[in-house]
A and B are shown apart, each in its own frame.
Chain A
Amino acid sequence: MLPTELRASLAEQIASVDHPRELLVDVMFAVQDHYGYLSDQAVEEVADLLGMTPLEVEELATFYTFVYRHRVGKYVIHVCDSVICWMDGHESLVEHLERKLEIKMGETTPDGLFTLLPVCCIGYCDRAPAILINKKVYGPLTPEKIDEILAKLQGEA
């Protein structure tokens, strides 16, 4: 269940606009920030808040890259698959990450630390190949740099 405060503040925001539905993305993000991802229960709670059906929420939740319908790790690594990253070694980068974390794209490490996901161009073409970890950009990357970043995050976790 959502904490009452969060629920109340969301309900207040929703009451202040003409078209509650336009806040769907914002509400999904707020609820996702709370739970870490958008669980089935969360979808129902969002629907309830906005007076929509869970199916309508589901439609949108599965449309956007940054709404996670499955449990994700503490650090979500979005690997940019844009053209410049791809020219600059995106494939080897993915292979390296997969090898290092021992998971495939779309999976989460058993310790719940890392999730690997693709993302369409994040616009850091001058820093290719680039990745986004919890909204922070890293690039240009080499296998060594990735190892460094992963080690640092592991240390902080």
Chain B
Amino acid sequence: MNKDDLTERFASILRRADRRARERRNEAIPTIYIVMSTCGLASGAAETKQAFEEALSDKDIGARIVPVGCLGHCYAEPLVVIDHPATGFPPICYHQVTVARARRLVRSYLEKGDPVFEYVLGALEENDLIPAVTDFARFNLEQRLVMEHCGRIDPDDIYQYIAAGGYSGLVKALCLEPEELIDEIETSGLRGRGGAGFPAGRKWRLASTAKADGKIIICNGDEGDPGAYMDRTILESNPHQLLEGLAICAYAVGADQAIVYVRAEYPLAVKTIKGAIKSAEGVALLGSTILGTTFSLNVSVFQGSGAFVCGEETALIQSIEGKRGMPQHRPPYPVEKGLWGRPTVVNNVKTLSSVPPIIKNGTEWFRGSGTETSPGTAIFSVVGNVKHPGLVEIAMGTSLRTLIFDVCGGIPNKKSFKAVQIGGPSGGCLPESFLDTPIDFDSLTQAGAMMGSGGMVVMDEDSCMVDVARYFIDFTQKESCGKCTFCRIGTRHLLNILDRITNGEGSEQDLELLGTLSEDIKLGSLCGLGETAPNPVLTSLRYFLDEYEAHIKENRCPAHKCRALTAFYIDLEKCARGCEVCVGCCPVEAIFTTRGRKKAIDQKLCVKCGECAVVCPPEYDAVLKVSPPELAPTLERTPDGK
């Protein structure tokens, strides 16, 4: 491979990218960056963009609008960054930019230079005028190795990625021997981010030494874990970093074909990655004879269509082959015999996206973050009962407490922390006593949870742990492909037992049965789905046994969550005479007027939907919830009571 030729070709692409970037900056007109990934769009970013466009043309102000990917701050969407150099302010990040706010920003900031402080989240750079976002824990405790460019560049413009240093990792890689490259990844200690944490370098070596032609790389972007959306965000916000990693992997392993497997539920991600492949092929960074070398890589996209088990690598391969996504027996492992019987590397989106910065900055740099056995960073979508939900990238080894309380702002509404569920349906629920557990592959597994593919669900005191376990079993029960009896029928039985308990019909024997059946399911299943399905039950039994016992022995749900074990009633002391709000909202007409012209709930009719508690004006706050249901005082409905 001619190195000089290769670097010269890339240098010319880079010059073009730099020129474009310079031109943009030199125009000295304001730039409005709008987060247009799915999370932004779902909170109205398209309307915001339109409002900016209209207001700019009304006022005849010249400004450039650049759609960018996700910054990870989902709580603040629609998020907008305005760079208005003429004012002397640094680029400013604005939160919750609704249509009205967009108009006001054009009027005040773009036209008159007043940055409208009340909408400011923070400045993107340190300065003397406006507090910088880096002053907040949500920003400065993060370490962005993989998501460095997410939300900062236009994902549809390959030159923006290149100007930010993109694809230089691929160039560096192509100047190395494949063997050296694999050594490099092995030394970096990079472990698979798809859940199991298998060393990426070892996987690549196995595939590279397999004796067969037509090796294939598959990027696993199936991401079916409930509560996880990191892979979608990366696909939508910086698809080129993934493609660069994919190309480096293919070169190292000796593959000429790659497939990006994305879920059909992620239409924007599918569109973005397809566009990115086209534009990379357009400048010879993918496709045949990459940068004039002998290395070619044909990349295509495969859309899965809504089956969690397809995330399992052998099922995923089946699904690409046009068969039902059912896991297969391993060995042979995909690295020996994968898609169409050829050696296949399956790596997660985050794993492959970690590769370019490692190659570019070296293994020492990568090992500078994280722990000895889990180097680098972890990307989590932290959701549920936290103040600042969103996507977070932190160094491995950071404690759960730091992540939940410092980075994500802790529990909202003055509630207290109860548990954190990590690793999706395969993971476990950890109680408060585990908050100081460091986040890395080994510590989480030891604690009974697992890294999973990065969904973290935080739960406050109002979550019933039995019901949470029931939820996850309901999920795996539905998603089990049905191949193994224990997974198919065992999870069904677990669900029946948990249904009984949450309905107040459980017995003490049920607790024992849950334990033994769980162990049997783990032993009797072929793939990770069944092997880990009982984890939510086992961990909640271990850490929250008291809640199970309260359901069974006292007919009581401590979190007041399980419908059969709770009742609503109206506190007559607090209820306001003449107020009718709750009556109107009750779907089953269970609320009637008492003799004292206050309201009461007919327990026989109530379906416990809780809508009355929502609509009762806060100054009265008269609807109360109790468990066990017998605690609710009953009032007889008078014949004329409506």
Residues of A within 8 A of B (CB): 18-26, 29, 50, 59-60, 63-67, 81-84, 86-87, 92, 95, 99, 119-128, 130, 132, 135, 137-139, 143
Contact = CB atoms under 8 A, between A and B. Distances in A.
A99 B227 CA distance: 27
Contacts of B228: 121, 123, 125
Contacts of A26: 303
Contacts of A19: 321-322, 340
A64 B42 contact: no
B224 interface: yes
Contact of B383 (A29, A92, A126): A126
Interface string B328-347: 00000000000010000000
7 contacts: A63-B324, A63-B325, A66-B264, A66-B265, A83-B472, A92-B610, A121-B225
Max chain B Cβ within 10 angstroms of own Cβ: one of A123, A132, A139: A123
Contact of A92 (B308, B455, B611): B611
A83 B457 contact: yes
A123 B610 contact: no
Interface in B498-534: none
Given A19-B321, A123-B223, A128-B383, 7 more contacts: A84-B227, A120-B226, A120-B478, A124-B38, A124-B229, A125-B384, A126-B389
Contacts of B224: 120-121
Contacts of B421: 83
A63 B229 CA distance: 23
Contacts, number: 133
Nearest to B475: A120
Contact of B322 (A24, A99, A125): A24
Interface string B214-245: 00000000011111110010000000000000
A31 to B, nearest CB: 14
A139 B227 contact: no
A38 to B, nearest CB: 12
Interface residues on B, range: 35 or more
A8 B587 CA distance: 53
A21 B223 CA distance: 24
Given A121-B226, A124-B38, A22 B472 contact: no
A123 B322 contact: no
Q: Which 8 A-B pairs have the closest CB atoms?
A: A65-B306, A21-B322, A123-B229, A126-B74, A82-B226, A24-B322, A121-B226, A64-B305
Interface string B464-477: 00001001100100
B479 A120 contact: yes
Contacts of B457: 83-84, 87
B565 interface: no
Contacts of B389: 125-126
A65 B322 contact: no
Given A64-B307, A126-B74, A83 B322 contact: no
A66 to B, nearest CB: 4
B610 A22 contact: no
Contacts of A99: 587
Contact of A82 (B227, B304, B322): B227
Contacts of A29: 305
A17 to B, nearest CB: 10
A23 B609 contact: no
A51 to B, nearest CB: 11
Contacts of A25: 302-305, 319, 322
Contacts of B302: 22, 25
Contact of A63 (B77, B303, B307, B321): B307
B362 interface: no
Given A83-B457, A119-B265, A126-B383, A95 B609 contact: yes
Contacts of B267: 135
Interface string B432-464: 000000000000000000000001010100010
Contacts of B139: none
